[in-house]
Structure 1
Amino acid sequence: LYETGIEVAGPVRNLRLESSAKQEATITIRWDLPAEDGAQVEQFQIIAEATRSYASYRIHPLRWSLPNTTSTFELSNLTPGTDYNVTVVSLSPKGEGGRASILGATEIGIPDPEPEEPIILRRLGSTILIKIPRATNNNGPVSYYRVVVHYVNGELIQQIDESQLNTFQKSKENRVPYYIAAELEMKDDDSLHFTVGDGREYRSYFNPPITVRAHVHISIGLVSVRNHVVKVRYATTTHEQHQYPDHQHVNLKTVEIERNETLITILTVACILFGIVLTAAIILYIYLRYKTPSANPRPFADHHELTLQGPILEVENNGFMPDIYEQRGFEAELRDIIEGLEQSKHHARKYLSLNINHILGSGKYGDVLAGSLQQGQDQDIPAHVHVVTDDMESVDQIAFLNEFRRLTALEEHANVILFLGVCVTPDWCYLLFEQMQTTLKQTLLNARVPSNVNSAKFSTISEEIVVNILCLVCDGMQFLADNNLMSKKLCARTVYVNTKFEVKVSAFGPPLYAEGTEKCIDIARWHAPEVIKFQNHSVKGDVWSFGLLIWECCCLGATPYGSTTTDNLFAAIRAGQKPERPGFMFEDLYQLCLNCWDLDASDRPSFIELRNYLRQTLPMLRYLLSFERKQSIQLPPYLPHLEMVE
């Protein structure tokens, strides 16, 4: 045996994937350090090379350099739905050493680009013939094409809330104006023709007839499935889909008239002849009436009133109510949900203490009381107790059951208020939630340093804490979105913190009263325009509210739209009014708010994108936000009379 005279570092040992950390654009690897019989490792180089991808563009290899003490690393900015060969190279002063490689894959992402709007070829009675163009997807396979029918009310198009999108029967029960009509596969053709409303079933989705003359939009959802992960993206619909040359948006009678010009001519001639004959008959009648004397004239007093005899029918127009609630009732449905809870969520009344004189808030589902739950002999947990009211309207009962059912299916999350369980008595039903120390609103207002106090900053909390709070709110909101839940009321008053700056968002119930008052919060000031106008709640509506929360946090609890009353809010937003950028909030962070306030809900960012951006900018806070006191800097005011309902 002869030595080569070259001593380099050996390869890392036991290179492996962290399967629990698998995400859309990341792969996490872990390894053991090389054996000590080689040269000292100076640093590691990570190389990621794509071996298989759905992307239509070329994916270049990515490289990272890491310190020699590193034993785990998250490869970020990878392409979703792509297989990678990941290599770890040991580098020493002698040069490149041993290599270790492993195959990994990223999870598929939301399909990109957005699928095209379908082409409406013909509308005939209760059916619509559409042409679905072939779609491409850079983030995963194209598995199915989902056909969505949307009954549009008015000229302003409401965005489809994907969490409410379901089968025709479920959408009918939930009174949602859109549903999935079919899931289709496209073979090797460039397009697919499909008849919406043919009454058949496609992959468990019923395709019911379309209401004649209803204003309907058809959207296409691109479904991508790989390794039991499903991602969907829907095409944005516009009124332009009715304007294709071949589109006949008419009823059956009009179609027949346009197709048969001969019949039109015959009917026209017949009408003219009938009119001539009728005119001649009227003239003849008048002539004979005046020329022929009456043989038995009737006395003027012998007149009889003409009346209708027979049965009179009354038509009753009842509002729509899903069959399941009509048959079983609200109490039975609520009982089923409660009985489905695990035993640890059921609490006896003797362990629940209520302060009935301390009402914390009130909403359409009932009041919120202060209370505590006894767990163990000496442990009392402070709780917010939601008392379910027994006089809800039918529409509110359905909404309550839907929200409560999703709530009970939630797992625990560090940034969502914990559901402690229920307490049921013969007369009342109580829903119990953990109680945090205070609201984010109060924390922000308390952090303001008065102008007459000599301080280098006008805030007692740092810029880093504020941005970190926003990151944690994003985590909680993304968790709710992943579980088909929406906040519908996101603002600083519905985010709760403690002295350790642990942050939790509320997933259920009304905003609490303003501290020290019994006045309800006017949450409309944080709502998106489609919510103010149509009550059309969606995750993208929560994103609009989050943009206002960013502004509210940076301005230490100031009131958004401080110069506008709630009655004029919608008109002001449609006219382009937005909260102004204060001097201490820099352009990049304010642009993030503007992205959240896009009037087109589909163009607003997701909570994942918002969280990633905020976390990436934490090391560069000086370019986002500064609480340093300067003469030209003035905090926007907190105006409680605009935030509360009188």
Structure 2
Amino acid sequence: VPQEAPAYYYVGCYTARTDLLHESVYAKTPQTCIEICEHQGHHYAVLASEKCFCANVLEPQEQQDEQLCNTRCLANKAQYCGGVGVHSYYSTILTKQPGPHHLRISNKTENSLTLSWNAYEARKLLLAGGAEAVLPNQLLDNFLIKAQVLKTYSSLPAFPQPEFMVQSTETQFELTDLHPATLYNISVRAMCKDAQVGQSECGQASIEATTEVGLPSPVPAQPKILSRTDRTVTIELSPIRNDNGPLSKLLVIVEYVDNALSQPFDAQLLGSWQQAQQDGVPYYIAAELDYDRPEDNRTRRFVVGDGKRYGRFTNKPLDQPDAHVHISLGLVSTLEGVTKTMYSRGTHDQHVTSLDDFSYATFEKGQSSV
């Protein structure tokens, strides 16, 4: 086969989804359809008998058995153009190399990304004129996988990610020990054997993907109680760091403490003041503060019990003037529709006034303060 002949990758047999397709035209061969869709800037050429569609979206979960695409193309009976309820998909991206095709993320957690790609099959490379490419599978030796950090919320030092070599028969690989809520650029390089030059790169694909948001960390400094009245508590909030994702919201939580009782904290029961009254729990969310702007995350004072509404919660005045109160925090981090919340309970230490709050006077020897 001439090296200059353009080759197009056959993606597979997929469920017919006309809602994802663009206007159809008449085409007797996959090659004609591919050229039409490539000229229009679409990613896929889709064959259904003599009908040619163009598409930009592919649903991996709708891939079907190849035997279902059994309708032969009109101009070349050796090729197949869809079937009953299924379409034949071809990529319009020119390829002459056995690189990883249709690279995608099939699963993600806060510390891992699972890559999947389609196996290289030389018999499915369609050449101009309807011929088939003869690129033997044994040329492909293995895949070299590498991840690079593009964006992270962590203030911790970023260590270079190791490279991984996997066998050419693999079509999936899980990258582990990744950092939460971090954007990575992941490349998968096909490495081929050559009798003259040894092993060399013969194709590659890359994808950008973000790990799932993690539980906020580290634990923030607890609020400092500055003053209290019968109905309010004034606190000071320190700047908060979150290495595992964006800091989206801050929950200010009131907890009435009875030193004679053991009070377990159950986040499932945490809600508004009204819910706390109904459920008989001694803690509730007084305020939901937005923290998604840099200027929100600063040293600030907040009055618990001022009667105003913050987010979804009303900051009710304290209704137990003589009760011992702790102010706890809930750190909320949301990214790509996933939310994680970490709770940091207040302790007796937040009532202790530090020496930094005192001003001092210097007296001459023999004098005393009055």
The answer, yes or no, to whether TM exceeds 0.5 is yes
Shift of 1:2: 9.1
What is the distance in 2 between the residues matched to 1:243 and 1:14? 60
2:200 alignment counterpart: 96
What SS does the aligned partner of 1:163 have? helix
Match of residue 118 from structure 2:
32
8 Å CA contact 1:16, 1:29 repeated in 2? yes
Corresponding residue number in structure 2 for 1:83: 183
Given candidates 59, 66, 71, the residue that maps to 2:166 is 66
Cα contact 1:16–1:102 (8 A) shared by 2: yes
CA distance in 1, matches of 2:256, 2:184: 44
Counterparts of 1:170 and 1:221, CA distance in 2? 17
One-letter amino acid matched to 2:340: K
| 8 Å Cα contact 1:89-1:96 kept in structure 2 | no
Work out the CA distance in 2 between the residues paired with 1:115 and 1:71: 42
Q: Which residue of 2 aligns with 1:221?
A: 330
Residues 14-25 of structure 1 aligned to structure 2 (within 5 Å): 14-18=102-106, 21-25=107-111
Question: Match for 1:66: what amino acid?
Answer: V
Deviations along 1:559-613, whole A, 9 cap, x unmatched?
xxxxxxxxxxxxxxxxxxxxxxxxxxxxxxxxxxxxxxxxxxxxxxxxxxxxxxx
CA contact (8 A) 1:116 1:220 kept: no
Deviation of 1:65 (Å): 2.1
Q: Look up the equivalent residue of 1:57 and give its one-letter code.
A: L
SS in 2 for 1:169: helix
Q: Label 1:62 to 1:172 Cα distance change in 2 as closer, same or farther (>3 A).
A: farther
Instruction: Measure how far apart 1:129 and its partner are.
Output: 0.3
User: Which position in structure 1 is the counterpart of 2:305?
Assistant: 197
Equivalent residues in 2 for 1:614-633, closer than 5 Å = none
- Using the size of structure 1 for normalisation, the TM-score is 0.35
The unaligned stretches of length 5 or more in structure 2 are 5-95, 123-134, 358-370
Flag the 1:178–1:223 CA change in 2: closer, same or farther, 3 A: same
Deviation of 1:159 after TM superposition, in Å, equals: 4.2
Name the aligned partner's letter for residue 27 of structure 1. L
Aligned to 2:63: none
**TM superposition shift of 1:167:** 1.1
Kindly state the Cα deviation for residue 241 of structure 1 after the two structures are TM-superposed: 0.9
Supply the distance in 2 between the matched residues of 1:52 and 1:246 (Cα, whole angstroms).
Answer: 40
Match of 1:144 among 226, 249, 271: 249
- 5+ residue gaps, structure 1, are 249-646
Aligned twin of 2:100: 12
Please state how far the C-alpha of 1:9 moved relative to its aligned partner.
Answer: 6.8
**Counterpart residue identity of residue 246, structure 2:** P
Q: Distance in 2 between matches of 1:142 and 1:220?
A: 13
* Structure with greater proportional strand content: 2
Is the contact between residue 49 and residue 62 of structure 1 (CA under 8 Å) also seen in structure 2? no
Pairing 1:160–2:265 present: yes
Structure 1 stretches of at least 4 aligned residues deviating more than 6 Å after TM superposition: none
- Alignment length, in residue pairs? 242
Q: CA deviation at 1:64?
A: 2.1
| 1:108-187 → structure 2 map (5 Å cutoff) | 108-154=213-259, 158-186=263-291, 187=294
Contact 1:9–1:34 (CA under 8 A) maintained in structure 2: no
CA distance in 1, matches of 2:240, 2:162: 28
TM-score of the two chains, using structure 2 as the length reference: 0.61
Question: Aligned partner of 1:34: which letter?
Answer: Y
Cα shift readout 1:279-301 (whole Å, capped 9, x = no counterpart): xxxxxxxxxxxxxxxxxxxxxxx
CA distance 1:123–1:246, change in 2 (3 Å): farther
The aligned amino acid for 2:99 is P
Shift of the alpha carbon at 1:155? 6.1
2:37 corresponds in structure 1 to none
- Aligned ranges 1:369-408 → 2 under 5 Å: none
Deviation for aligned residue 1:103 = 1.2
Go from structure 1 to structure 2 and tell me whether the alpha carbon gap of 1:155 and 1:162 turns closer, same or farther (over 3 Å shift). Answer: same
The equivalent of 2:76 in structure 1 is none
Q: Say whether the 8 Å CA contact 1:143–1:185 is kept in structure 2.
A: yes
Whether the 8 Å contact between 1:120 and 1:131 is mirrored in structure 2 is yes
Higher helix share: 1
The answer to which structure, 1 or 2, has the higher relative contact order (CA under 8 A, 6+ apart) is 2
How far is the alpha carbon of 1:40 from its aligned partner?
2.1
Letter in 2 for 1:212: P
Given that 1:108 and 1:231 are in contact with CA atoms closer than 8 Å, whether structure 2 keeps it comes out as: yes
Using the alignment, how far apart are the partners of 2:264 and 2:185 within structure 1?
41
| Root mean square deviation of aligned Cα | 2.5
- 2:327·2:345 contact (CA, 8 Å) conserved in 1? no
Q: Distance in 1 between matches of 2:255 and 2:214?
A: 25
Residue of structure 1 equivalent to 2:152: 53
SS in structure 2 at match of 1:42: strand
Shift of 1:123: 0.9
User: Secondary structure of 2:145's match?
Assistant: strand
8 Å CA contact retained: 1:142, 1:224: yes
CA offsets per residue over residues 141-167 of structure 1, 9 Å max, x none? 011111011111116763421111111
Q: CA deviation at 1:92?
A: 3.2
Question: Secondary structure at 1:79's aligned position in 2?
Answer: coil
Where does residue 143 of structure 2 map in the other structure? 44
Look up the SS of the partner of 2:275 in the other structure: helix
- Aligned partner of residue 269 in structure 2, secondary structure: coil
Structure 2 vs 1, CA of residues 175 and 62 (structure 1 numbering), >3 Å: closer, same or farther?
A: farther
Task: Report deviation, 1:58.
Answer: 3.3
Superposed CA offset, 1:487-506 (max 9, x none): xxxxxxxxxxxxxxxxxxxx
Report the Cα offset of residue 41 of structure 1.
Answer: 2.2
For 1:78 and 1:117, locate their aligned partners in 2 and report how far apart those are by CA, in whole Å.
Answer: 29
Instruction: Work out which of the residue numbers 220, 227, 233 in structure 1 matches 2:342.
Output: 233
